[in-house]
Structure 1
């Protein structure tokens, strides 16, 4: 392995910006697949189809978040090994982590395929919306092992400092979707099933690209049973709380869609579009935790506490600037985008209010994710889990349902924003106290 600990020298701000922007672009292209599918389906002129894909996409986001959690574990362990100057161990960890990810998502794919209709009913879908969402989920869910392979490959590349190659893994899937979505959905007239097929195709391309680049950079070794056995305990020590942390966000989104379902299918259709704009526009925020994990992990592994603290502060600065820019763009283009998706009335109002008040709160969501990166990579992953679930499990439901009862559909958006703000402020404060005072007590890698 030719890789060294690249993040232990040079500007920490530059490392944060480069890794987060490339991670953002790659992640955004991955989510572009869902965005484009929803856009082309909206061109069919049936609002219930948009609502159906919104329900299914909420479930998909939950499942993808499991891969993101496992990806965080891979980044933390591989980057630590590189920071300690042990590339052979890094290779063994990388290989084992990718096998774990594919195996877990394969089991999840089978489970969700069998139980998809009950899951969608629990989410509030019914009638035609349930039928369409079930069809979409039934086709697309089989590709979960493929996205696990692609995302874990990108994680290994990111941990080694291969920012552009990590970005290209997920970018390739989005580029394929640009081509196949209109062909399958519109030209071939396949509609919602065509959108699901496009997702499968794009994830297959992403998996192949990831395996090609991670192998080409010498970041893998021959799989061995004793590696799978020996690496499992340290991997699970980070992966289990990281997965629990990551799935809290889609759980919070599920709470939102349940709260919004109280106001009708039109409101759900609006939330579906707003959610896709949220994921696509704030790719940098969603990528932040995984992107800076390698920076924190390498510097911690090398014993450079000052650089860990500076990386934390630089990530918060990046978060504030990034959110301000995207928020301004959301406010400017939300109404035209709602019209482009064929939304009107309450659905368009939901998109408008998300851009106005919901988007700005992602500055605090980013602060939460920065704190999570510190906790995950400095030996306190359970703290990240507690921080996320305080927001999504503790705050989201009372705020979304409560303000929704008072102010209808826009109140649900306000509830989301309030939960983001409170949780972000608290997590950022605890995170800074930890990196500034508690590094000497943090768990060191074995």
Structure 2
């Protein structure tokens, strides 16, 4: 491996912008798969199918978040090793991290496949909607090891500063979905099962692209038992709390869909479309934590606390500008997009209110994710876990159900927005106090 610590020199703002925008493009293309599936299914003219895919997508987001948590651990350890000038150790850690991620998602795939009906029932699905969602999940869940492979590869590339290659890993999967979605769903008349098959194909393409680039750049080697054993403790020390942190967001989404289910399938269909718009439009916010993790990790590994602090500030600035721009676009285009998905009545109202009040709160979600990056890469991963669960486990349910009881479906969206504002403000303040004080030198990875 000939990689050097690219983030220890040059403008920190430039690194934040480049890594976040390329990360967001790649992540958005990955989530474009779900968005396109939902769009083409909407062409079938049935809101119950949209609701079914919405339930299944909520479960999928939970499972993908586990891979994101393991990806964060890979970025933290690989970037730190590179910052300390040890590319050989970075390669061994990267290889082990990829093996751990694929094996973990393989086990999860088996568990979810066998218990998917119960999981969907707990989420509020019933009758025909539950059956359709179960069929969708039964096909798509087998590709979890593939997405783990692709996301691990993208994380390793990002930790090494290979922004464009990391972006292209997930972009290739989205481009594959652009082609195969209409073919399978509409032209071959496979409907919802066709959408699930398209997800499997796109993840296969992403995994192949990721392997091609990490092998080509010499970022991974042949797995060895000694490396797997020696990397396990430091990897799990970050991965376990990082996974716990990441799954809080889909748990919060699960709370929202349960609260929205109280108002009928039409409201759930609207939330499904709003959720896809949220993930696609705010790809930069969702990518922020992973994107700046490598910047913070390399500078911490190189013992440059001033650049760590500046990276934190620059990430918050980026978050504010990005959210303002996307919020404006959401307000302008939300109603036309709802009509494009064939939504009317309550479903369209949910999308409208998300654009009006929910989207703006992502400025505070971004602040939460910036603090997460600081905590995960500076030796306080449990702080990130507590910050996220304070929002998704502590605030989301009482606010979503409480405001939903008074204001119906729009109240659920308002509950999400208030939770974002409260948790994001507190986490950003704690994160700034943390990076502002003197940081201990980074420990050398095993």
Shorter-chain TM-score range: over 0.9
Aligned partner of 1:347 in structure 2 is 347
| Residues 50-107 of structure 1 deviation map (CA, whole Å, 9 limit, x = unaligned) | 0000000000000000000000000000000000000000000000000000000000
Output the CA distance in 2 between the equivalents of 1:223 and 1:409.
50
Residue 328 (structure 1) shift: 0.3
Whole-Å Cα distance in 2 between the matches of residues 183 and 351 of structure 1?
28
Residue aligning to 2:77? 77
Runs of 4+ in 1 over 6 A off after TM superposition: none
Contact 1:260–1:271 at 8 Å: present in 2 too? yes
Q: Structure 2 length as normaliser, TM-score? A: 0.99
1:367-378 alignment, distance < 5 Å: 367-378=367-378
Q: Secondary structure at the match of 1:324?
A: helix
State the distance in 2 between where 1:349 and 1:386 align: 33
Q: Do the aligned partners of 2:301 and 2:442 also contact (CA within 8 Å) in 1? A: no
Aligned counterparts of 2:367 and 2:338: Cα–Cα separation in 1: 29
- The answer for the alignment partner of 2:392 in structure 1 is 392
Deviation at 1:263, TM superposition (A): 0.2
* TM alignment of 1:273-292, pairs within 5 A: 273-292=273-292
Is the contact made by 1:379 and 1:444 (CA closer than 8 Å) also made in structure 2?
A: no
- 2-side partners of 1:443 and 1:247: how far apart? 27
**How far does residue 176 in structure 1 lie from its aligned partner after superposition?**
0.4
Give the deviation of 1:444 after TM superposition: 3.2
Q: Partners in 2 of 1:105 and 1:369 — Cα distance? A: 24
The answer for the alignment partner of 2:129 in structure 1 is 129
Aligned-residue offset at 1:438? 4.6
2:245 matches 1:245: yes
Shift of 1:437: 1.1
Match of 2:20 in 1: 20
Q: Secondary structure at the match of 2:257?
A: helix
Distance 1:105 1:220 in 2: 20
Which position in structure 2 is the counterpart of 1:405?
405
Match of 1:108 in 2: 108
Contact 2:150-2:203 at 8 Å conserved across structures: yes
Please show how residues 43-442 of structure 1 align to structure 2 within 5 Å: 43-440=43-440
Q: CA deviation at 1:445?
A: 3.6
Q: Is the 8 A contact 1:41 1:185 kept in 2?
A: yes
The question of whether the paired residues in 2 share the 8 Å contact of 1:378 and 1:444 is answered with no
2:303·2:442 contact (CA, 8 Å) conserved in 1? no
- How many matched pairs? 445
- Matches of 1:60 and 1:4 in 2, distance apart? 36
Deviations 1:7-63 (A, max 9, x none): 000000000000000000000000000000000000000000000000000000000
How far did residue 2 of structure 1 move?
Answer: 1.4
Structure 2 unmatched ranges of 5 or more: none
Counterpart in the other structure of 2:29: 29
Q: Does the 8 Å contact 2:300/2:442 carry over to 1?
A: no
**Does the CA-based 8 Å contact 2:403-2:415 persist in structure 1?**
yes
Once the two structures are TM-superposed, the CA of residue 439 in structure 1 deviates from its matched residue by: 1.6
User: Aligned equivalents of 1:2 and 1:175: distance in 2?
Assistant: 30
1:220 Cα offset (Å): 0.8
